[in-house]
Amino acid sequence: MKDIKNKKYDYLIVGSGLFGATFAHEMTKAGKSCLIIDKRDHSGGNIHCKKIEDINVHWYGAHIFHTNDKFLWDYVNQFAEFNRYTNSPIANYKGELYNLPFNMNTFYKLWGTKTPEEALKVIAKQIQHLDIDEPKNLEEQAQKLVGTDIYEKLIKHYTEKQWGTKATDLPAFIIKRLPVRFTFDNNYFNDKYQGIPIGGYNKIIDGLLKNCEIKLNVDFFEDRNYWLNIAENIVFTGKIDAFYDFQFGELEYRSLRYELEIHEIDNYQGNAVINFTDAETPYTRVYEHKHFEFGTQPKTVITKEYPLKGIKNAEPYYPVNNEKNMSLLRKYQLLAEKETKVIFGGRLAEYRYYDMHQVIASALAKSKVELRGE
Ligand code: FAD
Ligand code: UDP
């Protein structure tokens, strides 16, 4: 039996992003008392949307929900209806436009190849001298998948601009996220289910948190002892190294800076996402938010996404899962494994490149384990 005499809540959940909100939803449903705190002035973490010019603006970068898992698809559909949006970004390389992900349309535009066989031949010819057996880094992986032309025009500069690191110093798995298709299919994802919640992502978070108590503008670290003692268990979704006072050093993140523009026209770029894959354009992507929801508003809102590196306290968007950081992470994980009342979950606490459906799956799995009392 747990001693809850002096504790006000069963769970204090630090962070109201998808992990915290899903966990809170499941525990509340099972009759547990939960308090959620978040240091931001809104709930939802990075999937938060702000309404500007009557358009749902993805405040922390474009988010497209996709999954292969019917259970997870039904789970999110409890809270919002999803539209039929299919992500088909365009790459702009020095003014030339190409379809993404890499597919027969991309190959045709580059080489004039009309059949898969022709395209495969071009790729094979381009890499025959490279002798890549087991790709050791992102560059080798990309060249092996799509050849050297596409690597030069659509991958190398975009990746190096985005990550602020040479493609030869990045892990191969990053590029494996992208499909390479020998069909004329511009769908960026392979998953069976995909879409944007009609009315924006806040509908999902508000649905998850409907019966939960939440305090915003509260940073756990400002009164750590108080918060540690308010509940029987803590669910921590912030940075794991911060939880342990950075005692072994800081985990690195790739960050981003967003510039928002409102334009007095109804259609700025004709697509929700355009990637700028050359080295010279300072931003990596431009989002036009209304196209995620097929909007017909008279004005339009766009966001330019710039890479940001070396800025202290920048928003920690993407973990940099290189060897140095992974060995640091293991040290923190050893401390975390010894905790009996703290659960670490989500992108920051697990230091993982999680998509939304994976975060929800992880929160559901961890809440189940808790409820079984394992
Ligand atoms: P977060 O959303 O980061 O939530 C953590 C919360 O904890 C935040 O609200 C934070 O304020 C709070 N917090 C942290 N520390 C403290 C503290 N000390 N005290 C109080 N509160 C604290 N996924 C997809 O599936 N599709 C996409 O298209 C997609 N696009 C993405 C684009 C970008 C630019 C980024 C960065 C991610 C994208 N993702 C996408 C991933 C998606 O954003 C994450 O999987 C998901 O939002 C992670 O949820 P989380 O709860 O783990 O973390
Ligand atoms: N990528 C690229 N060119 C593109 C799009 C993606 O080289 O036009 C590479 C880049 O290295 C990126 C990776 O593919 O980090 C994964 O792309 P994704 O769109 O999944 O990145 P995210 O949305 O997570 O930033």
Q: Is 113 in the pocket of ligand 1 (CB under 6 A)?
A: no
Residue 345 CB coordination number (10 Å):
24
Compute the mean pLDDT over every residue in the chain, rounded to the nearest whole number: 95
- Nearest ligand to the CA of 256 is 1
Q: d(Cα 180, Cα 142) in Å, to the nearest integer?
A: 10
Q: d(Cα 277, Cα 160) in Å, to the nearest integer?
A: 10
Residues with CB under 6 Å of ligand 2 are: 91, 100, 154-155, 158-159, 162, 174-175, 177-178, 275, 277
Q: Choose, from 26, 160, 305, 370, the residue flagged as catalytic.
A: 305
Identify whether 254 is a catalytic site residue. Answer: yes
Q: Is 223 in the pocket of ligand 1 (CB under 6 A)?
A: no
Nearest CA to ligand 2 atom 10: 159
pLDDT tens for residues 31-75? 999 999 999 999 999 999 999 999 999 999 999 999 999 999 999
| Residues 6+ away with beta carbon under 8 Å from 45 | 15, 16, 17, 18, 19, 20, 38, 60, 237, 346
| Mean pLDDT on 296-308 | 97
Q: Model confidence at 133, in pLDDT bands (50, 70, 90)?
A: confident
Q: Model confidence at 183, in pLDDT bands (50, 70, 90)?
A: very high
CA–centroid distance, residue 85 to ligand 1 (Å): 21
Q: What are the boundaries of each domain within the chain?
A: 9-43+209-250+320-372, 101-175
Given the CA of residue 188, which atom of ligand 2 is nearest to it?
19
Q: Is 171 in the pocket of ligand 1 (CB under 6 A)?
A: no
The percentage of residues in the chain with a pLDDT greater than 90, rounded to a whole number, is 89
pLDDT tens for residues 88-126? 999 999 999 999 999 999 999 999 999 999 999 999 999
Predicted local distance difference test score (pLDDT) of residue 2: 41
* Domain range 9-43+209-250+320-372, CATH architecture: 3-Layer(aba) Sandwich (3.40)
Nearest CA to ligand 1 atom 40: 355
Identify whether 181 is a catalytic site residue. Answer: yes
Predicted local distance difference test score (pLDDT) of residue 3: 43
| Mean pLDDT on 135-153 | 95
Identify whether 305 is a catalytic site residue. Answer: yes
> Which token pair is 255?
């960050």
Label the pairing between strands 9-14 and 34-37.
parallel
CA–centroid distance, residue 248 to ligand 1 (Å): 24
Q: What is the pTM of this model?
A: 0.94
Predicted local distance difference test score (pLDDT) of residue 355: 96
pLDDT tens for residues 199-246? 999 999 999 999 999 999 999 999 999 999 999 999 999 999 999 999
CA–centroid distance, residue 291 to ligand 2 (Å): 20
Predicted local distance difference test score (pLDDT) of residue 4: 41
pLDDT tens for residues 306-335? 999 778 889 999 998 888 999 999 999 999
State how far Cα 16 lies from the chain centre.
15
Q: Which residue has the tokens 């999902």?
A: 204
Beta-bridged to residue 214, according to DSSP, are: 36
CA–centroid distance, residue 118 to ligand 1 (Å): 42
Does 12 score more than 90 pLDDT? yes
Nearest CA to ligand 2 atom 7: 155
Predicted local distance difference test score (pLDDT) of residue 312: 80
CA–centroid distance, residue 17 to ligand 1 (Å): 6
Does 353 score more than 50 pLDDT? yes
